[in-house]
Amino acid sequence: MKILGIESSCDDTSVALIEASENNFVVLAEKTASQIDIHKKYGGVVPEIAGREHAIAIMPVIEEVLSLGYTRDAMQKKPFDFPRLRSGQVAHGKPDAIAVTAGPGLITGLVIGVEAAKNLSYLWEVPLIRVNHMDGHVHSVLLKNQINKSGANIKIENQSIEFPALCLLVSGGHTELLLATDHGVYEKLGATRDDAAGECFDKVAKLLGLEYPGGPKISALAKKGNANTISFPRPMIKENNLDFSFAGLKTAALYWLRDNELSALDVNPDLPAGIFGVQHNNPTRADFCTSFEQAIVDVIVEKTSRAAEKYQPTTIIFGGGVSANEKMRATLRAELQKILPNSKFLIPEKKYSMDNGAMIAVAGYFQAQKNNFTSWRDIVVDPNWEAYISG
């Protein structure tokens, strides 16, 4: 079945058309309008601006995906005279269902995506699926980059989620450990009590003068530093629970920068010591980033390992924007391999670790299999919708 996935919970207006069957998800077309360049002036996402930008982008992005998707799909030979696009073009076909993120996220963005999905569901008489954003991140591991540079589909091995599945979801808004017993059915094992790990990356990056979103910038710098230079706290690592806390780590980073000086070697590593205030012994900005990243990695790996030991999952999933972090991917993979050598460890392709419409379509497919459709009359957004509480 063809599913149109719509995602607008944060700063990406992202839409994808997928062809879904059991354990096989082909992305026919996808498009993301990113707002990063707009928000980075403010150092973070401004909800009012996000809402406005989603409203501008949503229909053109949907139109582009539909026309692209049906041109590419060789199976769709008979053009419908429907739906007619604003641009005057006719999209050759309509999806079998529309999946849309209804929460959690920024209400200003969620309402735009849901409103567009509602309208299309009514106009096209196509069923609507209400998807939880975090359920989308879990299912992002089933997506593979199946379209090559020339636009042709490439065949790749299918992946599946076996249950019980331990899901570690780490993003700008969430850090949580969930146990899935079926698609979309979760038990909460632990979560952050304050800041999310991605938020901590972004806020500390801001202290270093790095642009939003700072997570990727910190992790790039961290590749060049020494993790033992600064001893940052590992909050809650010893506590006998599966919760996290990152606000204290952010404050520790702030105080370190207030009380210490970074080496000027970042500016020019060839400068001889002593001139222009160059202190060879001070940690470099890269050392700072590596030490900071290591603190987050240690806490997340420790708590996830404990959950893996306790619940013995068949599959372990690491999703959310922070799953793009290579250090965290590699350390988790190595540690979990030691604890559960026979379990699958699934991480999304980097492209699908960030927010995207395709993952919403895949999560929607499994809801459709359970006949979990919502009428356009009844669909509501819930900015605080927790994945483990069914909507």
Residue ranges that bind ligand KG4, judged by CB under 6 A: 10, 171-173, 198, 201-202, 213-216, 219, 320-322, 324-325, 354-355
CB of 165 to Zn ion, least distance (A): 18
Looking at the Cβ atoms of 70 and 232, the one nearer to ligand KG4 is 232
Of residues 302 through 361, those in contact with Zn ion by CB under 5 A are 355
User: Which residue positions form the known binding site?
Assistant: 133, 137, 169-173, 202, 215, 325, 355
CB of 79 to Zn ion, least distance (A): 35
CB of 235 to ligand KG4, least distance (A): 17
In sequence order, the 6+-apart residues with CB closer than 8 A to the CB of 256 are 230, 232, 288
CB of 56 to ligand KG4, least distance (A): 20
Looking at the Cβ atoms of 2 and 133, the one nearer to Zn ion is 133
| Residue 201 contacts which entry, ligand KG4, Zn ion, none (Cβ below 5-8 A, type-dependent) | ligand KG4
User: Which residue positions form the known binding site for Fe cation?
Assistant: 133, 137, 355
User: Which residue positions form the known binding site for substrate?
Assistant: 169-173, 202, 215, 325
Looking at the Cβ atoms of 73 and 293, the one nearer to ligand KG4 is 293
Looking at the Cβ atoms of 86 and 224, the one nearer to ligand KG4 is 224
Stretch binding Zn ion (CB under 5 A), from 36-44, 166-174, 234-242, 303-311: 166-174
Looking at the Cβ atoms of 83 and 321, the one nearer to ligand KG4 is 321
CB of 11 to Zn ion, least distance (A): 10
153 near 174, Cβ under 8 Å?
no
Provide the residue type at 332 as one letter: L
Out of 35, 171, 294, 367, the residue judged to bind Zn ion by CB under 5 A: 171
List residues near Zn ion by CB under 5 A. Answer: 171, 355
